[in-house]
Structure 1
Amino acid sequence: MAESMQGLKRTHRCGELSAANVGETVTIMGWVQKNRNKGGLVFVDVRDRSGIIQVVCEEGKTDPAVLEKAASLRSEYVVAFVGEVAKRSGAVNDKIATGEIEIIPSELRILSESETPPFQIEENSKTKEELRLKYRYLDLRRPDLQRNLRMKSRVMTLTRQFFTEEGFLEIETPMLGKTTPEGARDYLVPSRIHPGSFYGLPQSPQLYKQLLMCSGMDRYIQIARCFRDEDLRADRQPEFTQIDMELSFVDVDDVIEVNERYLAKLFKEVLDVDVKLPIQRMTWQEAMDRFGSDKPDLRFGMELTDVTEVVKDCGFGVFTGAIEQGGSVRGINAKGQGSMPRKKIDKLTAFVKDYGAKGLAYIALQEDGSVKSSFAKFMTEEQMDALVKAMGGEAGDLLLFAADKNKVVWDSLGALRVELAKQLELLDKNEYRFVWITEFPLLEWSDEQNRYVAMHHPFTMPMEEDLKFIDSEPGKVRAKAYDIVLNGNEIGGGSVRIFQDDIQEKMFEVLGFTKEKAYEQFGFLLDAFKYGVPPHAGLAYGLDRLVMLMAKQDSIRDVIAFPKVKDASCLMTEAPTPADKKQLDELGLETVAEEEK
């Protein structure tokens, strides 16, 4: 039977007590982690978000009523104990912060009883994620998840403090905005007052923060909720949080400089990790050529080598065919993996096919000096020797090659080097390797839309020296865009924005927008730009991904209190659910049953 808290006041959280409190009378409240009844001796572990403490009830020393009640406790009962802090009578428990002490109780109240939970509340639970997410309120009692959320709260607090001291204003932007068809898909919100019209939930506060710069706010920061109705991906959430900022009268270096100091402060205060400044910078082109990725993981080598020139006259049609089509041949050297079984190489071949590659060619250099290769018969001995030399191959190495269009070669080998690093356990979660990727292409060609699309968004400033190519060779124009990458994850990205009318009009023209269409979508921004707009630039971090890496987790779901699953549904609340007919009628909406396929 649940009892009242009346007259009791908690004096300490469980994990806050230490040997310094020995002899004090304290009141703790929390959940029963476990209860061990040794007959006349009852040990109760009480847990709250700060940690665990042991309470010891012993016949002859503890009030019989308290002892009897303690013996009846079960896991996840909510209890309050009043008692004296004492040195442990038994062995010290080094695994918990309160391992030197225990509480000898004088009073126990059962504040709430609990049914048997569907899984045990314990660190690093092996229970299936689907079951844990259905009972997320129980899952969140786990100390490891609570630590993650405490870290996230700390990151948000430090973020606000740092940017406030740097002269940024925290300003909220609307959740209900104009829907914009460019970019990812919006979540639509129907308007009851304007039947047939819809708001769009923000994919980012991009246009509003640029308007704030037009308003003279100078420096803006927001921890902003964002929404994207994107296709399913394992570790992507339909709603997420950005650390969003915009600055006036700045260029690339100014944005990078303030953010480097921010990251250094964050990692020092939260993890006691020293971030070496300035952070390394690398152009997009260099990152693609060396790592096959614009978010390179620098914790290990295995860089790509372009061997197009070496093999351009060889007899292997796969290589020469790709080169004739304007592609390239590149390889990676998996040091010491020359004895990898053929079955494993076949698995790697299947892996790269997901990235558009037709296959993998390989040379396995055996320790005894012999060579196994999938294409040696098409090459002369001199050509093979030249290829091995170009790859820095030594006895015991495995050389893997892809030949195709540049994008396919980069994507497949870039993913392959990370996959091999995982298999060979080369990724150290305690190492934090930052790199800025700069000078992205302004535009990328979309086969689907048969036109150039903005690689970032239509308001990104081209590099001034490349403007001359905008009509003749748009693909050559580089952007004043920059991403901050950590251990192979893009944690933030931004750009200098266009603030001159003529460049913005030219950008819309290249993207295939008529003036009317540009005004229809972005008229309020273009109008604002007629009234004196400062040069401005910004950046946004994915807060969840940043905290995930800081907390050494593998999924952003482990740093979000109530995440959705892969199909964007919530297993706990069962959202989304159909709306009732009355609500739909008020909104002038009706749902149409999908035809059976």
Structure 2
Amino acid sequence: MAESMQGMHRTHRCTELSNANIGEYVTVMGWVQKRRNLGGMIFVDLRDRTGLLQLIFDQNDLSEEDFSKAYGLRSEFVIAASGKVEKRSGAVNENLKTGDIEIRVDVLRVLSEAETPPFPIEEGINTREELRLQYRYLDLRRPDLQRNLMLRSRVATLSRNFMANEGFLEIETPMLTKSTPEGARDYLVPSRLHPGTFYALPQSPQLFKQLLMCAGYDRYFQIARCFRDEDLRADRQPDFTQMDMELSFVTEEDVMSINERLLQHLFKEVLNVDVQLPIRRMPYREAMDRYGSDKPDVRFGMELHNVSEVVKDCGFGVFTGALANGGSVRGINVKGQGGMARKKIDALVDMAKGMGAKGLAYVCVGMGEGGAHKSSFAKFMKPEEMDALVSAMEGEHGDLLLFAADKDSIVFNVLGSLRLEMAKQLDLVRKDDFQFLWVTEFPLLEYSEEQGRFVAMHHPFTMPMEEDLQYLDSDPGRVRAKAYDIVLNGNEIGGGSIRIHQEHIQEKMFEVLGFTKEQAHERFGFLLDAFKYGVPPHGGLAYGLDRLAMLMAGADSIREVIAFPKAKDASCLMTQAPDAVDQKQLDELSLAIHIVGDEKKEQ
């Protein structure tokens, strides 16, 4: 039966005790990790968020009642124990921070009993993620998750302090905002007081932080909750956290400089890793040409080779056809893997097809009969054409050359992904090798086949490079943006830009995006109106705090650094959200539900 603390007061967490406390009388509280019964003596490993501490219950030191309670302890019971800190009577446990001490308990309170949990509360367990998410409150007791969340907390605290010292003001922006559907889908919130109208949950504080610059606050910072109704991946959640900032009277270099110092500070304080400054910069076009990605992992080579000129007159129709359609032929050299099993190569071909390619061509350099090249397309190539291609790829005996031929977007996607897959299979990267990169000079716009118009690559408020303004009407796809992403180990951890602060350029941007003046003012009128009253040049950046914490913790998913994450279908397996609501609530909101599907229902 559970007891109260009965006047007991915790003096220390488990690992706050050390040899320096030997002889002191202390009180600790936590969860029973393990109990060992040695007859007249019972040993218990007590666990709290700091780690483990051994308690010893000697029949000679305790009342009969307390020893009986100690005998009945089970895993996950919550207890309070008082006693004297002693040097361990048995062997020292080198794996524990408190491995050379123990507490000889003379008072015990069982604060809460526990049923047997559905999985062990241990580090590194191999339990189905669905079960872990269903019992997340138990999963969060595991030491590895607790370390992750404490690391995340430390990152947030250090960032706040750093930004405050740099003159930033922490200002909250609204959670209930206007829907401005340009990008990901909004989460909508119906209004009771204004029937038939809706708020949107913010995808970012973008517009409000620009208005704060208009209002003269100069340097703004916020750890902001944001929401996007989009398909999920390992590094996506419907609700997530941004570390958001905006600065006035700055250039790209100013914004990048302060963020370099922030990252240097965080990695030194949290991981004792020295980040060398300045961080390397790479234009978007170079990143795509060399790595097939705008967030390249530069911890290893295997860069893309453009062999379009080499194969433009060859006899292989797949290559020449792609070039005739305005595409390109590019490849990667997987050094020393020419002997890869055909089954594995076929899996790579299937992977390429899954990303939109018609196939994947390959050459195993010198791995055929008599030292010839073994290739999926050798019969279409003259020997001298094949030799020229291998030479252009810097191929050596035993290398595996992989080629994609299609429009550039598909070629980059396929080879960029294959490059990462090969690095993973060949174990070419370490999680504790932190390689930062600024990617700059992004295209301002990209053409959407689906919408039949240009859309903003980042958002509609990004400033074009002045020298490219002349192309906004004649060649919008050529215009580069004053945008910059900070990339870590192949992950975009933050993105930002210098913003448009002139009303005529902002209106021109909306025009290029296909908005009429009326549509632009309907959606963004409050921003355009603000631009009439004196706007400083400004820019900013926002980090995905979840993703940054994931990489710093060495985790594989942001769900490992979020206390209560959603599953892949955006549901909460613990609370069973989303769920139906009472008809009374719907009536108050003037809402009726009409579910469109195989069966149409109304509520």
When normalised by structure 2's length, the TM-score is 0.98
Identify the residue that residue 329 of structure 1 maps to in structure 2. 329
Kindly provide the CA deviation profile for residues 529-567 of structure 1, in whole angstroms up to 9, marking residues without a partner as x.
000000000100000000000000000001000000111
One-letter code aligned to 1:57: F
Identify the residue that residue 574 of structure 1 maps to in structure 2. 576
Identify the residue that residue 254 of structure 1 maps to in structure 2. 254
Q: Compute the displacement of 1:235 (Å).
A: 3.7
One-letter code aligned to 2:589: L
Identify the residue that residue 550 of structure 1 maps to in structure 2. 552
Q: Distance in 2 between matches of 1:213 and 1:43?
A: 61
Identify the residue that residue 512 of structure 1 maps to in structure 2. 514
Q: Compute the displacement of 1:501 (Å).
A: 1.8
1:12-411 matched pairs, under 5 angstroms: 12-366=12-366, 369-411=371-413
Q: Distance in 1 between matches of 2:440 and 2:597?
A: 48
Q: Distance in 2 between matches of 1:61 and 1:504?
A: 78
Q: Distance in 1 between matches of 2:597 and 2:135?
A: 34
Q: Distance in 2 between matches of 1:595 and 1:69?
A: 58
Q: Distance in 2 between matches of 1:593 and 1:219?
A: 46
The percentage of aligned residue pairs carrying the same residue is 71
Q: Distance in 1 between matches of 2:231 and 2:115?
A: 39
One-letter code aligned to 1:65: E
Q: Distance in 1 between matches of 2:511 and 2:68?
A: 81
The residue matched to 2:410 in structure 1 has which SS? helix
Residues 339 and 366 in structure 1, CA contact (< 8 A), matched pair in contact too: no
Q: Compute the displacement of 1:61 (Å).
A: 4.8
Q: Compute the displacement of 1:32 (Å).
A: 0.3
The residue matched to 1:534 in structure 2 has which SS? coil
One-letter code aligned to 1:441: P
- Range 359-368 or range 371-380, more displaced: 359-368
Kindly provide the CA deviation profile for residues 32-66 of structure 1, in whole angstroms up to 9, marking residues without a partner as x.
00111122221101000011101112344554433
Q: Compute the displacement of 1:153 (Å).
A: 0.7
Q: Distance in 1 between matches of 2:234 and 2:293?
A: 20
1:479-518 matched pairs, under 5 angstroms: 479-518=481-520
Identify the residue that residue 440 of structure 2 maps to in structure 1. 438
The residue matched to 1:388 in structure 2 has which SS? helix
Residues 437 and 487 in structure 2, CA contact (< 8 A), matched pair in contact too: yes
Kindly provide the CA deviation profile for residues 200-240 of structure 1, in whole angstroms up to 9, marking residues without a partner as x.
00000000000000000000000000001113434411000
Q: Distance in 2 between matches of 1:292 and 1:283?
A: 13
Residues 235 and 566 in structure 1, CA contact (< 8 A), matched pair in contact too: no
The residue matched to 1:89 in structure 2 has which SS? coil
1:456-475 matched pairs, under 5 angstroms: 456-475=458-477
Residues 40 and 59 in structure 2, CA contact (< 8 A), matched pair in contact too: yes
Residues 61 and 105 in structure 2, CA contact (< 8 A), matched pair in contact too: no
The residue matched to 2:525 in structure 1 has which SS? helix
The residue matched to 1:358 in structure 2 has which SS? coil
- Range 231-240 or range 128-137, more displaced: 231-240
Give 2:420's match in structure 1, choosing from 411, 418, 426. 418
Q: Distance in 1 between matches of 2:59 and 2:525?
A: 79
One-letter code aligned to 1:483: D
Q: Distance in 2 between matches of 1:247 and 1:420?
A: 41
The residue matched to 1:10 in structure 2 has which SS? coil
- Asked whether 1:454 is paired with 2:456, we answer yes
Residues 31 and 79 in structure 1, CA contact (< 8 A), matched pair in contact too: yes
- Asked whether 1:429 is paired with 2:431, we answer yes
Residues 550 and 561 in structure 2, CA contact (< 8 A), matched pair in contact too: yes
1:520-531 matched pairs, under 5 angstroms: 520-531=522-533
The residue matched to 1:538 in structure 2 has which SS? strand
Q: Compute the displacement of 1:114 (Å).
A: 0.8
Q: Distance in 2 between matches of 1:49 and 1:390?
A: 56
Q: Distance in 2 between matches of 1:328 and 1:406?
A: 6
Q: Distance in 1 between matches of 2:240 and 2:60?
A: 56
Q: Compute the displacement of 1:95 (Å).
A: 1.1
Q: Distance in 2 between matches of 1:593 and 1:255?
A: 47
Q: Distance in 1 between matches of 2:137 and 2:203?
A: 28
Q: Which runs of 5+ in 1 are unaligned?
A: none
One-letter code aligned to 2:22: V
Q: Compute the displacement of 1:377 (Å).
A: 1.2
Give 1:586's match in structure 2, choosing from 585, 588, 592. 588
Q: Distance in 1 between matches of 2:595 and 2:301?
A: 53
Q: Distance in 2 between matches of 1:233 and 1:122?
A: 26
Q: Compute the displacement of 1:427 (Å).
A: 1.8
Q: Compute the displacement of 1:177 (Å).
A: 0.6
Q: Compute the displacement of 1:357 (Å).
A: 1.0
The residue matched to 1:220 in structure 2 has which SS? strand
Q: Distance in 1 between matches of 2:202 and 2:57?
A: 56
The residue matched to 2:371 in structure 1 has which SS? coil
The residue matched to 2:43 in structure 1 has which SS? strand
Matched residue pairs, number?
Answer: 597
Q: Distance in 1 between matches of 2:129 and 2:182?
A: 35
Q: Compute the displacement of 1:125 (Å).
A: 1.6
The residue matched to 1:27 in structure 2 has which SS? strand
Residues 57 and 106 in structure 2, CA contact (< 8 A), matched pair in contact too: no
The residue matched to 2:240 in structure 1 has which SS? strand
One-letter code aligned to 2:48: D
- Range 323-332 or range 232-241, more displaced: 232-241
Residues 362 and 398 in structure 1, CA contact (< 8 A), matched pair in contact too: yes
Q: Compute the displacement of 1:325 (Å).
A: 0.6
One-letter code aligned to 1:130: E
Residues 444 and 453 in structure 1, CA contact (< 8 A), matched pair in contact too: yes
Residues 136 and 572 in structure 1, CA contact (< 8 A), matched pair in contact too: yes
One-letter code aligned to 1:478: R
Residues 335 and 400 in structure 2, CA contact (< 8 A), matched pair in contact too: yes
Residues 440 and 479 in structure 1, CA contact (< 8 A), matched pair in contact too: yes
- Range 292-301 or range 464-473, more displaced: 464-473
Q: Distance in 1 between matches of 2:45 and 2:434?
A: 36
Identify the residue that residue 7 of structure 2 maps to in structure 1. 7
